[in-house]
Amino acid sequence: MTEKVNKETLVKGAFLEGDPRGGAFRFVVEPFTEDYTGRLAWHFLGNHLLRCASLHAGLRGFGYEDMQKAHHAWVLSRLSVQLEEMPRTGEEYVIETWVARIYRQFTDRHYAITGADGRVYGYAASTWALIDVDTRLPMDLDTLPDGGFTDAVIDREAPIPGFARIRLTPQATVAKRHDVVYTDLDINGHVNSIRYIEMMLDLFPADRFAATPVRRLDVAYNAESHFGDSLELITDTARDGREQVEIRKAGGGPVVKAAIGFAS
Amino acid sequence: MTEKVNKETLVKGAFLEGDPRGGAFRFVVEPFTEDYTGRLAWHFLGNHLLRCASLHAGLRGFGYEDMQKAHHAWVLSRLSVQLEEMPRTGEEYVIETWVARIYRQFTDRHYAITGADGRVYGYAASTWALIDVDTRLPMDLDTLPDGGFTDAVIDREAPIPGFARIRLTPQATVAKRHDVVYTDLDINGHVNSIRYIEMMLDLFPADRFAATPVRRLDVAYNAESHFGDSLELITDTARDGREQVEIRKAGGGPVVKAAIGFAS
């Protein structure tokens, strides 16, 4: 017998109410994509958020391949995710994404993650820069020759607080060291953006994720890391209870900073 | 706009020629599922092999849920994968799987991994035991009340050499230690079978995977490991050039043994 593995069907964007400037992509939580609590693993949610950014940008004419022709590349600068809950095995979810803002060297892309029945799993907001791949300098998005990019902006925001500042105290300590390995790398040859999130979650005991799942994540991407790099994971707990983590190259500057908000 | 993420279509099993006792499942290599060389990552191929076993068994009436009712569970004992090549981003591949043999406490499930144009990516063979979840003892599959299980056997073998023996020399040394972390765990609460493969691949420099991709993998699963376990990864190189790895609980017995054959 022959079977389709993903039972994909077309859905209408729920949050955007079918606005053609946005994109809505349907997923099912497949077995073997969950964490040990039976909920979608961050690995998959995170990579699906990046994938939807790429799909939506490609459909609108400013995707990876379009940018490559102009020697430009999108670089993720910040990511905030706020969840009511993670979907469970077999549950369907729709990731809606749209360009919410363009300002000088940055653009904000927002997300809504909802269930088939209109249930809200959560929202996300991300900030991207467009760099010149030759000079590695960011482009001024306000003065770019416009190929429909500004037309894509939808004046709507994901209803979550803005990026939460991450400021480690001088008391922060090195909790772990990690030498970059083969499976950390993505097709760009650097450590995958979502892999850093996994490294940071892995600083905490597994049972904490069952008792108090992660509800909020703020990640700032400062620099790339590559095979051969030795990383230090430095942590402390903020006054408001959020766990702060900085990933630094040994003897070098910060690569990623994050704040993790476990349910209380 | 609203788009389907996976453009799934029904395909006919190529290798099994539509034999209804087998299963054929179609996948596409999605962006963000590759390794840094642009080929499907082992993480995804491995989990898709397990997923297809689960899907096929479920469709034939001896899947996870059917077994759970009888207080039985399938346990992976051995896995061999031999590849001509890994599919690249955007390429479609079909995983065909069937029960090739039943003998006492074990059953062999074989796989063919082919492209849409009939191209062979590779084959795999796996050995499973059915355990009683209360006693943890393996069942004798020859004497089980049969619910169509023996009817599923197809007298055909994946055309690859059998499981390759793994025998570390006394010179084998501890290459790395790994404390089990949250993202290692799957929904059963133990370290995911494919995660061990990633841990073992990560013992080798990234550039080796570009120059000489892994062509053959043999893995024997001896015991489970859980959060809190400290693992030792012990390695040596066999006379025939295969890299041998044993993962052992610190101060305990072997968990997984494997041999990795890089292209020469």
* Per-residue pLDDT reduced to its tens digit, B217-243: 999 999 999 999 999 999 999 999 999
Residue of B nearest to A55 (CA): B5
A201 touches chain B (CB under 8 A): yes
Mean per-residue pLDDT over chain A, rounded: 91
A6 touches chain B (CB under 8 A): yes
Q: Considering CB atoms only, which of B59, B192, B198 is closest to A183?
A: B198
A176 touches chain B (CB under 8 A): no
Tokens at residue B78, please? 């051995």
Question: Which chain B residues contact residue A50 at CB under 8 A?
Answer: 32
Assembly ipTM: 0.92
Burial tier of A73 (Cβ tally within 10 Å: 0-12, 13-18, 19+): middle
In this complex, do B20 and A1 lie within 8 Å of one another by their Cβ atoms? yes
Cα–Cα nearest to B21, from B61, B65, B48: B61
Residue A151, phi then psi, degrees to nearest 5: -60, -25
Taking the CA of residue B223 and the nearest CA in chain A, the distance in Å comes to 18
- The answer for A 58-77 residues in CB contact with B (under 8 A) is 59
Helix axes B42-60, B193-201, angle to 10 degrees: 160
In this complex, do B2 and A9 lie within 8 Å of one another by their Cβ atoms? no
| SS3 state of residue A56 | helix
Tokens at residue A201, please? 């979650």
Average pLDDT of the residues in B234-258:
95
pLDDT of residue B10: 43
In this complex, do B4 and A3 lie within 8 Å of one another by their Cβ atoms? no
Comparing B47 with B251, the larger pLDDT belongs to: B47
C-beta of residue A67 within 8 angstroms of C-beta of residue A139: no
Phi-psi region of B21 (alpha: psi -120 to 50; beta: other; left: phi over 0): alpha
Which tens digit of pLDDT belongs to each residue from A142-151?
Answer: 877 776 688 8
For residues B250 and B230, give the distance between their C-alpha atoms in angstroms, rounded to a whole number. 6
Average pLDDT of the residues in A35-53:
96
